[in-house]
Amino acid sequence: MKKLIKVGLIILLILPAFTAYAEGTGNNDANNIVDLDKKTFLEKVFNYEKNAESWAYEGATPCIINFYADYCGPCRRLYPTLVDIAKEYNSKIIVYRINTEVEKELAAAFGIQGIPFLIFVPVNGKPQAATGALPKENLEEIINSFLLK
């Protein structure tokens, strides 16, 4: 009986890690996608608390910000495409992602109504946004014609 309880506890401790990995929400270093929370968003992307009047990108490399939720089917379908994009454009752009279920304040700050919601942020200029699981070809076109022009 004690052995069974130990095995059950081990499974309970390990299962969330495997679930997160399978959903693409685990350690993102291998995927070149960076998870953001409010604090890192304010530091790396846009400090809307300090610069409420105008957009001021904090980064030196263009980026794509993916607002998603784990329950969202289109978000899960888009994730492998974003992993490919992040690997192919490794030093040219950064791919960030923000879980709207965890970072509700960030989602509200951008008025996000539907997910996946992508923001394309050039180093200079205003960002552009798109909703939905865009095909890789469309993402590459936006990257090449807008982010890297």
Interval 81-134: pLDDT, tens = 999 999 999 999 999 999 999 999 999 999 999 999 999 999 999 999 999 999
- Distance of alpha carbon 118 from alpha carbon 85, whole angstroms: 13
pLDDT exceeds 50 at position 13: no
Q: Is residue 63 a contact partner of residue 91, using CB atoms and an 8 Å limit?
A: no
Region 29-47: mean pLDDT is: 91
Give the residue numbers annotated as catalytic, written as ranges: 72, 75
The number of beta carbons lying within 10 Å of the beta carbon of residue 33 is 20
> Which residues neighbour 8 within 8 Å (Cβ) at sequence distance 6 or greater?
none
Q: pTM higher than 0.85 for the full model?
A: no
> Which residues neighbour 18 within 8 Å (Cβ) at sequence distance 6 or greater?
none
- Distance of alpha carbon 33 from alpha carbon 2, whole angstroms: 41
- pLDDT above 90 coverage of the chain, percent: 72
Say which DSSP state 46 is in. Answer: B
pLDDT band (50, 70, 90) for residue 28 = low
Higher pLDDT, 52 or 84: 84
